[in-house]
Amino acid sequence: MCGIYAAVSTTSIVNELISGLDNLSYRGYDSAGIAVYDGEQISRRRAQGKLSELASLLCRAPVSGAIGIAHTRWATHGLPNETNAHPHMTAKVAVVHNGIIENYPQLRKQLQNDGYVFESETDSETIPLLITQYLDKGETPETAMLKTISQLEGSFALVAIFQQSPDELFAARQGSPLVIGQAEQGFYISSDENALPAEIQASCFLEDGDLARITQQQLTISNFSGQTLQRALIARQGQSSESSKNGFKHFMLKEIHEQPQVFKRTLQHYIGGHHQDDSLLQLAPISHLTNNISRMTIVACGTSYYAGMVAKYWIESIAGVPVDLDVASEYRYRKTPVTYQSAALFISQSGETADTLAALRHAKQQGQTCFSIVNVTNSTMANESDVVLPILAGREIGVASTKAFTAQLAALLVVTIQLARQNGLMTYKDEHLLLSQLDNIDAVIEGVLSQSHIIKDIAKSICDSSNALFMGRGIAFPLALEGALKLKEISYIHAEAYPAGELKHGPIALVDKDMPIIVVAPSNELFSKTLSNLREVASRGARIILLSDKNGLNQAEHFIEQGYELPDMPELMQPIAYNIPMQLLAYYVATLRGTDVDQPRNLAKSVTVE
């Protein structure tokens, strides 16, 4: 979502600020701005829309300075326009802010009563005005920051520059991430480590309750009570090379094509050489969490939630453990009792998803044992979990998640095997057979990718549709949900998914000759039931697209408009393989409709506010 970037250096940092914002742009935004101290005063430039608008403005009205702050805004309070864009400022201070100030209506009213004038509709503007109020009373910048922070309720990461202290940056964190990087020429601050420049030598993640005071040569960190803290700067392990499209038109397409390697890498991280007796050695740290558990709760949002839904089928059918599946934004409010011998699993690509993080904290407060599956191993969720299972997907830049979903399935599959072994439902021989079957999953995915021209043709047939239905039965149902989500996310076609057996309970009323229905149905023991549902919608004129194997397509050939054939494979592999053509379908439909595939409207890569 919103992105923060700041720098203090020996030379002008305007270009570095724009470059940093560009590195943050994959997170989603609708306006951007910078503020720098130009030697006399704090100068600000803001623009609605893409970074190119801000760059054009800076060409017409340039600024220069060796210290500054920058921001990409994803609107939560107020319209996405220049007035509401960050930085927000007064004559004495400029501030960029991520998060939500929950008590801003009271603070706004208080400040207005004291004669302070608001220019924007945002909650964030209360911060510079509060700081200014304390400066007007004679407080120092640091004291003004601390007194302001003490009044804020909600989550925030913020960075400020002061007119009276033009060689210092102040940064504070409470609930939203901030990382500080040190380079030879100074310091950089970002809400995302991936945005830091290549020349960073060492970095430090602020923790909740930290206030950092930063000059070109020095970093000092204290708590919100003013007590100095020790936070080590950790040497950087090298710069990621994943910010290039490598010849692909979009990051999303590149990341779809990375999935064969991603799945295998994640699986091998945990199982190593599965022919050895020490297979699953990497899961030893979670043995005490999964041993003898009688119930598991899985909590996640969006695509991660659908990965959890697949895992529910796996864990219950293979490991014999009942699974409660919860949407993270609802989990805390159900007041669910914690059961004896249970564990909670939280899934998030970024490890910063606000609702999932809040759910994790709620579970820990209830005494629940918690572990998380994340892609970012130094994220807040990773740090606060009892055990973290990294998915090793690498940086995912496309807002619509693809390779992270596949890597999550790999990690969840390993958790399933671990539970089954501990519950005595899987022998070493069973495990060896299963893992042997998975040895060629990368080849299966590669095979699907090599047939993308078929998916392109299907995409042409539905790209002008206004609506679409997806349906599946059993473990194919969460795949239908994920397929519908991908299509609506990036093509803006209204798409919904239903269990195949539920179609007669209402959704069939939507079916007509203009309605494409994408059916996910491998020819397993449930296929005959799905085929019956398929006939029902076919008799009402629906345009049916079937994803199945050769046997399934042959049985349904008289009822479908188009089909995509996947190879026969063990049922355990089906969620991994069947998801790929639906990712490609969404991608090609979106490109045909001319939408912004990597940064679709209104969406953010990491949802860091509730």
Give the residue numbers annotated as catalytic, written as ranges. Answer: 2, 605
Q: Looking up tokens 């998803």, which residue turns up?
A: 353
Nearest to 68 by CA among 77, 81, 58: 58
Structure tokens at 509: 């009323």
Q: Looking up tokens 């059918």, which residue turns up?
A: 317
Instruction: List Cα–Cα distances, 431 to 406, 440, 572, in angstroms.
Output: 20, 15, 12
How far apart, in whole angstroms, are the C-alpha atoms of residue 228 and residue 398? 39
Structure tokens at 48: 């609605």
C-alpha gyration radius of the chain: 26
Tell me how crowded residue 484 is: count the other CB atoms within 10 A of its CB.
24
Structure tokens at 476: 């194919």
- For 322-367, give the DSSP string: -EEEEEHHHHGGGTPPPPTTEEEEEEESSS--HHHHHHHHHHHHTT
- In terms of C-beta density within 10 A (0-12 exposed, 13-18 middle, 19 or more buried), how is residue 113 classed? exposed
* Ramachandran sector of residue 488 (left: φ over 0; alpha: ψ -120 to 50; beta: rest): alpha
- In terms of C-beta density within 10 A (0-12 exposed, 13-18 middle, 19 or more buried), how is residue 35 classed? buried
Nearest to 97 by CA among 10, 148, 158: 158
Cβ neighbours of residue 558 under 8 Å, at least 6 residues apart?
A: none
Structure tokens at 564: 């995509």
- For 443-499, give the DSSP string: HHHHHHHHTHHHHHHHHHHHTT-SEEEEEE-TTHHHHHHHHHHHHHHHH--EEEEEE
Q: Looking up tokens 């996405």, which residue turns up?
A: 80
How far apart, in whole angstroms, are the C-alpha atoms of residue 480 and residue 582? 9
Contact of 522 with 578, CB cutoff 8 Å: yes
Structure tokens at 313: 């089928």
Nearest to 204 by CA among 193, 218, 195: 193
Contact of 350 with 379, CB cutoff 8 Å: yes
